[in-house]
Structure 1
């Protein structure tokens, strides 16, 4: 059953008051009693993961990845989608883990994930073959890479350093982002947020959604989309005020990229904006900080032996370490 329909059903039974985007942001605290039950289990798992990380005294990176949907009906058939494969988020999560961070990977369902992203374009039937004995084995061309990535993935999960949490709609995303931030707040400056998800700028409030599939026989479709409130303001000011927060800015016009990144920093007062242009986002990015006149440019090496996320995470973790050191002194 779709989220909006579930809200309405429970409202009628007085189980709880349904939450729209503004309602999620306004709640003083998320608890299993005041959120929809489909989120309660995930909230408890996030809290348990963070509690374990606090015992281990490790820094935690929340990496968001993939795009959000905006349903057009309660029983959703049609939706508006912010497309993102999740490559930047999933690859960056791997590098954070290898740098010693624990990672909450908040991702779009069926988008790329750490360690299995490299095999996403390969059919399982192409990846494996039947040996003469009839045993199913990984083909020689993929075996070493497959085993290496499986070992990494299994090790991080077994040691409770990698936690997966998935979303679909923009309301899912905001609810779970809020839940993650609430859980991470006690970490203080050990928390790092790497907000790489492609979040919808517009949505349709639950009360405005038709219940059933929109019919083409009704003629041309006219939609009124509401602006999604910017979550960076409450996130930085209230949810995780001590965390090292990083946002992304994607543009198609390089001339406005850095000015818009600086505007975001001035508006939300977070630590860093990673700016990139659509056509070159896998080759070059700019790290824009407050009170730093010239943005740091990160570019893939001519040899091309490492992807750009390797260099981004290397730079970001160095800045986070400096932030921690300065806060102690």
Structure 2
């Protein structure tokens, strides 16, 4: 059978290993993979030698391209708030952080000023210069370079920006933060697999904090069109039939799409039907094949229906055999989450709610809420500041158990 006529197997019938092999065979690696591999290897090796714990934080949404020369794609709402915020608190807890994020989503530290209803320039002013003072006293208006004052942070933002800047400079000076971008779901999966393999020497000191909103569906590369999907059924124009005005005289004027509104509205619109395949569930492969032995794997489950949150989290935990699912509802994700774990000995599920105290809730004006904007409730305490210390405790217990098991095995 010719290669072009090859029929793709259903990933539902493949083993996890076969699904992995097939997916990475039909989807080419991103051009940046090798560069990121080298940067990550140097970063990881340094912290293996120092004995420091290292966490891979994934953040932001993944796109699903509809064309190989991508113009159109499927996306989700994730801005990377959870991941960027969590990365800062992991650094505060002494972890080194690889931050694998959707390109142009929120970044640790800069998020304080980029994710704001104010323009970033509103945080700054131009200070006065000596030449400006002298020229103003003489009544002259000089526009030369000597009149340029220094750029300064406005007084009301000084304390906040100083604190954030010091934290960022500390992480950078001590090489504790490596930032790597992705865009598509395929790029994300290539990067995740590569980084997990590189982290193997870390052993139990490795932690995976999978906060990225990963697409569940994709279009296989061999089924993807090359060029932009057209939005009209404009008939092709033959050069030999054009009249002096450049219009094809063989085509009725009312059949030519011009881009303007038709005098009579159409009775039906054009439909774009997209045939998507499920992305293989690689979380099981991460736990059983890619990640270091004894490492901790944490994933998130976001739901909108409160009745499904716990059951869906328990299903994910059971299906993929990782260590913890952090469940959260879209409407309350900034106020509360639930840790869903499973006892290895008994198989029973355990729940632990993490909640921001009600006394820490205030009214915030001028920001855009998911419900449409205006004044809305916003916690003063970032819930990630409560999540990460609890995770560190759980991770410490796993490390101690691994060390105990190694000692007993000798």
Q: TM-score, normalised by structure 2?
A: 0.71
Q: What residue number does 1:232 align with?
A: 283
Q: Which segments of 5 or more consecutive residues in structure 1 lack a partner in the other structure?
A: 1-21
Give me the whole-angstrom Cα distance separating, in 2, the residues matched to 1:230 and 1:76.
24
Q: What residue number does 2:202 align with?
A: 187
Q: What residue number does 2:89 align with?
A: 95
Asked whether the 8 Å contact 1:69–1:169 carries over to 2, the reply is yes
Work out which of the two has the higher radius of gyration on C-alpha atoms and give 1 or 2: 2
Asked whether the 8 Å contact 2:19–2:280 carries over to 1, the reply is no
Match for residue 388 of structure 2 among 306, 313, 320 = 313
Give me the whole-angstrom Cα distance separating, in 1, the residues matched to 2:112 and 2:339.
26
In the alignment, structure 1 residue 85 sits paired with structure 2 residue 79: yes
Of 233-242 and 298-307, more deviation after overlay is shown by 298-307
Give me the whole-angstrom Cα distance separating, in 2, the residues matched to 1:48 and 1:25.
26
Offset at residue 293 of structure 1 (A): 4.1
Match for residue 303 of structure 1 among 332, 348, 359 = 359
Question: Could you say if the C-alpha distance between residues 77 and 185 of structure 1 is closer, same or farther in structure 2, counting changes exceeding 3 Å?
Answer: same
Match for residue 211 of structure 2 among 193, 196, 200 = 196
Match for residue 322 of structure 1 among 355, 377, 397 = 397
Deviations 1:82-125 (A, max 9, x none): 22011111111101000000000000111111111111123232
Q: What residue number does 1:8 align with?
A: none
Offset at residue 35 of structure 1 (A): 4.9
What SS does the corresponding residue of 2:32 show, helix, strand or coil? helix
Asked whether the 8 Å contact 1:25–1:178 carries over to 2, the reply is no
Q: What residue number does 2:46 align with?
A: 52
Give me the whole-angstrom Cα distance separating, in 1, the residues matched to 2:119 and 2:281.
39
How many correspondences in the alignment? 304
Offset at residue 267 of structure 1 (A): 1.0
Question: Per residue, is there more helix in 1 or in 2?
Answer: 1
Offset at residue 153 of structure 1 (A): 1.1
Give me the whole-angstrom Cα distance separating, in 2, the residues matched to 1:191 and 1:245.
9
Give me the whole-angstrom Cα distance separating, in 2, the residues matched to 1:23 and 1:293.
30
Q: Which segments of 5 or more consecutive residues in structure 2 lack a partner in the other structure?
A: 1-16, 130-148, 234-269, 361-379, 405-410
Considering only aligned residues, what root-mean-square deviation do their CA atoms show, in Å? 1.9
Asked whether the 8 Å contact 1:105–1:163 carries over to 2, the reply is yes
